[in-house]
Amino acid sequence: MSQIRAFLAIDLDDDLKPKINKIIREFKKTDANIKYVDLANLHFTLKFFGDIDTQGIDLLGDKINSVVNDFKPFNIKIKGCGAFPNNNHIKVIWLGVEDDIILKDLHDRLDKQFNSIGFKLDKNFSTHLTIGRMKSARNKDKVKKVLESVDADIGSMEVNNIVLKKSTLTPKGPIYEDLKEFTL
C-alpha cells in the first residue's frame, strides 16, 4: 500500500498575497530566524491527516462531500496577526479570520466525519493562516513589536471550494499537489 502525507485546505486568493507579502517584509526587517511560508503555498488548513493510505482517498472524499453539500460559498475576512502559542513564546506567526463562525462550523462538521473513520478530533482548532515559523529566539523582542503594531487588515475572499492536498517534504520546503477539489 502506498502512503502520502495529506491535508484538507482552503487556498488563499492570489489578489490578497501582495498585502500578506508586505507584512512578511515587516517581519524580515527584524532579522529574526524565521522560516516564511512561500506565497504560493499559503492556505487555511481544515484538517491535517498526516500519512494516509492512498486507497483511503475515496473514503475521505465521500466524507468531505457529505459535509460540503450542506454549505454554500461564503466570505471570510482576513484580519489580525498573532503567534502560537503566544506573543511571548513565538513558534508560529499567523494571520487570523474575523467572524469565522461558518468556517468553524465547516471544520467541526468535517472533523466529526473524519473522526467516524478513525482520525482524532482536533482539540483546539483555530482558524489561521501561517505565514512563518520562528526557528530560534533571535530578535524575538523585535518580532513581538511587529506583531503588536502591524496593520494586518488583509481583506475579504470568497470560500467556494476546499482542496485535498498531498504534501511532499523537501529540503527546500514542502511541495503541495492538489488531489481533489470539493465545491461548496
Tell how strand 3-11 and strand 43-53 pair up.
antiparallel
- Alpha-carbon distance of 86 to 71, in angstroms, equals 32
Check: CB of residue 34 under 8 Å from CB of residue 27.
yes
User: Cell numbers at residue 82, please?
Assistant: 498573532
> Among 74, 124, 67, 122, which residue's Cα sits nearest to residue 98?
74
Please identify every residue annotated as catalytic.
43, 128
User: Cell numbers at residue 71, please?
Assistant: 454549505
| HSE-up of residue 155 (Cα within 13 Å, Cβ side) | 11
- Alpha-carbon distance of 89 to 91, in angstroms, equals 7
Check: CB of residue 30 under 8 Å from CB of residue 149.
no
Check: CB of residue 64 under 8 Å from CB of residue 162.
yes
User: Cell numbers at residue 25, please?
Assistant: 517584509
